[in-house]
Copies of this chain bind each other. A is one copy, B any other.
């Protein structure tokens, strides 16, 4: 299925969650910008955050909340239009105020309210606007497809479409459902890229049991992709488990099925995020193979995926394998160039570090498609990674250069 023109995913609802969204007036566009996901009877949580040393207020507050609640979450409050980043102590206090107010309305401590923000950086956080809308937000919540769509739309910034994926599997006579909702690594116009991913499941598990499963699922999907190589200050992936399915993660035979389903949801979200990247015309599935370790395969993949020369060649569907080879050479991995092979689609274009005869027109046609596979074999070992990335287009520059202050 084409990543760029995929049909909407079927939405499967996990038990124990409801969703809503309202317009709080944070976005200038007047579109919905405040979203709620509630675990009706609470949920256990695991989370991954940005590795950037500069982190937004909600990342600090959310991380602390998870520690002090022992990984117990009742509600997730997400706003778009303001990232609450580089806002100092005042930004932290504003975020805490939102969590406090929401906690009171739900009758839980503020540590059970998990905050996220995405949008413009360095602008005062409008806690007033958000707090004023909390009662309306809470009364609007629905345990339905409609609620999920409202949530998915309200967290969008430069995304052109909502990103939703879900999976269901059987565990004996019972069913476990996983639902994922994400916003993309497109920048808030014209500010900061942020990836937010929320995963909801009705499996039962402790926070401690969930964390490694979340990490594993993200490693090969959300952590193996890149649009522009910039790491946001707000990136967050949150997994909530309600337990309402009656199935426990530690039940015999369940953990493998769950990990696989969660991986599939994350992979789908990663593909949806990449294909909706700013100005993206081509999605590239980059396979780096024959590495000594997964780490070095990933290092080579990232160097290729972040090379402006490689990405601009892809924008022009130019089968310019020399730029890929040069990126491999400067990746820091001690590759022997005379062992490197490069494939565009199924055609070999570089053998033993030198060009080999290939059909350039066919390679151009392969690259001109909305998606294509590029394979780089390092001739060093048996490890491999699959990495999702994109071209770099003049449209990307236009979106991100637009002066709007």
Contacts and interface: CB of A to CB of B under 8 A. Distances in A.
Interface of A: 51-55, 85-88, 91, 120-123, 187, 190-193, 228-233, 306-309, 312-313, 315-323, 325-330, 334-337, 350, 352-355, 360, 364, 391-394, 396-398, 400-405
A312 B325 CA distance: 26
22 contacts: A51-B330, A53-B336, A54-B337, A55-B337, A120-B322, A122-B350, A122-B355, A187-B309, A190-B313, A191-B323, A192-B326, A228-B308, A230-B307, A230-B326, A231-B329, A233-B326, A308-B396, A308-B400, A312-B396, A360-B405, A394-B397, A396-B397
Nearest to A331: B53
B54 A353 contact: yes
A204 to B, nearest CB: 36
Nearest to A404: B318
A404 B86 CA distance: 45
A121 B323 CA distance: 9
A191 B122 CA distance: 39
Contacts of A230: 307-309, 323, 326-327, 330
B353 A88 contact: yes
A88 B354 contact: yes
Contact of A322 (B86, B316, B321): B86
A336 B53 CA distance: 8
Contact of A312 (B120, B307, B400): B400
B364 A403 contact: yes
